[in-house]
């Protein structure tokens, strides 16, 4: 039997929202192997990234090798999903993350969130705990988590000129070291993001957290990760600082660290029997 390579796998689609807010998001899903009791993986990508990136593809291969279930999807306005990026908001992407989690996964899951996906993972965890679904989370692996990104890493870093342009035109073109063309930041994107801010109060994950952070990260400074650890003082947290790591953390050694963090989450599972020592 011939198998398609992961990069060529055809996406499925999930319908979310109604009326003018209806959109279809693309996803790739691997089901768990028979008899596998490992937690599944749910990939939450970064700002303007897609589900076929290096880290997401690595996790899919690692899941396949371990027999784990694995879910990857593109937010609206990203990758192969419908929607206009410039009209999307954090709230929309949170809604999509929750709907994909609830509709497309079963049993305990490990959320692996990269950059903006790290912020969304914490928002998903909070919502699941509030709705009595917290037991569905086996852990969070956060890669350079851009918590409160719209405020802390975009708006507060803007120059006076950029803020004036945003106020006057309703949009500001933000340059990126990872893309040739600047991308639009709308005033509504910043304002809507303020309803999802986490800093300023205790942040609860309600499950173990492992944060991986490069110290040469120019997009999410490593001290941002330290601030997150301080706010997560009610839950078990491991922080791995990678001295020569950048924002992407996509080198072979970085991918191996991410894989090890995922595997380590199985040691924290409360629903699995433990050997007496």
3-state secondary structure 186-249: EHHHHHHHHHHCCCCCCCCCCCCEEEEEECCCCCCCHHHHHHHHHHCCCCCEEEEEECCCCCCC
- Name the residue with tokens 């899941």: 63
Look at residue 268 in the predicted model and tell me its pLDDT: 65
Catalogue the active-site residues: 115, 217, 247
Domain at 11-149+202-266: CATH code: 3.40.50.1820
∠ CA 51-138-101 to the nearest 5 degrees? 45
Look at residue 42 in the predicted model and tell me its pLDDT: 98
Measured between alpha carbons, how far is 183 from 154 in angstroms, rounded to an integer? Answer: 12
In sequence order, what are the beta bridge partners of 39?
Answer: none
Burial pattern 110-134, b for ≥16 Cβ within 10 A else e, equals bbbbbbbbbbbbbbbbbbbbeeebb
- Name the residue with tokens 């491991």: 238
Measured between alpha carbons, how far is 217 from 249 in angstroms, rounded to an integer? Answer: 9
Give the tens place of pLDDT for each residue, 168-204. Answer: 999 999 987 777 788 899 999 999 999 999 999 999 9
Tokens of 61: 């291969």
| Contact present, 70 and 106 (Cβ < 8 Å) | no
Question: What is this structure's pTM?
Answer: 0.93
Tokens of 226: 């330290």
Name the nearest CA neighbour of 181 among 86, 91, 248, 250. 86
Measured between alpha carbons, how far is 101 from 40 in angstroms, rounded to an integer? Answer: 11
| Contact present, 100 and 111 (Cβ < 8 Å) | no
Measured between alpha carbons, how far is 60 from 66 in angstroms, rounded to an integer? Answer: 10
SS3 2: coil
Look at residue 272 in the predicted model and tell me its pLDDT: 53
Look at residue 172 in the predicted model and tell me its pLDDT: 95
Ranges of residues in the chain with a pLDDT under 70 are: 1-8, 268-277
Measured between alpha carbons, how far is 76 from 93 in angstroms, rounded to an integer? Answer: 7
Name the nearest CA neighbour of 212 among 70, 114, 81. 114
Look at residue 20 in the predicted model and tell me its pLDDT: 81
In sequence order, what are the beta bridge partners of 14?
Answer: 25
């Amino acid at each position: 039997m011939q198998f398609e390579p992961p990069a060529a796998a055809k996406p499925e689609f999930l319908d979310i929202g109604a009326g003018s807010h209806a959109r279809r998001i693309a996803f790739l899903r691997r089901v768990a192997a028979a008899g596998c009791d490992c937690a599944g993986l749910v990939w939450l990508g970064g700002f303007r990234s897609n589900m076929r990136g290096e880290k997401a593809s690595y996790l899919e291969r690692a899941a396949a090798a371990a027999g784990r279930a694995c879910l990857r999807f593109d937010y609206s306005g990203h990758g192969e999903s419908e929607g206009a990026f410039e009209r999307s908001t954090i709230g929309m992407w949170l809604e999509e993350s929750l709907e994909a989690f609830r509709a497309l996964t079963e049993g305990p899951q490990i959320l692996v969130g990269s950059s903006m996906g790290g912020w969304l993972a914490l928002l998903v965890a909070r919502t699941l705990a509030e709705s009595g679904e917290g037991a569905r989370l086996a852990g969070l692996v956060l890669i350079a988590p851009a918590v409160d990104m719209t405020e802390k890493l975009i708006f507060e870093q803007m120059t006076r000129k950029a803020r004036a342009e945003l106020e006057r035109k309703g949009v500001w073109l933000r340059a990126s070291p990872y893309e040739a063309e600047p991308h639009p930041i709308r005033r509504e994107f910043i304002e809507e993001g303020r309803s999802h801010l986490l800093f300023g109060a205790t942040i609860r994950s309600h499950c173990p957290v492992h944060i991986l952070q490069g110290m040469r990260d120019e997009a999410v400074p490593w001290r941002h990760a330290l601030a997150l650890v301080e706010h997560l003082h009610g839950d078990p947290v491991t922080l791995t600082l990678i001295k020569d790591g950048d924002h992407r953390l996509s080198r072979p050694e970085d991918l191996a660290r991410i894989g090890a963090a995922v595997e380590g989450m199985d040691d924290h599972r409360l629903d699995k029997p433990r050997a007496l020592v």
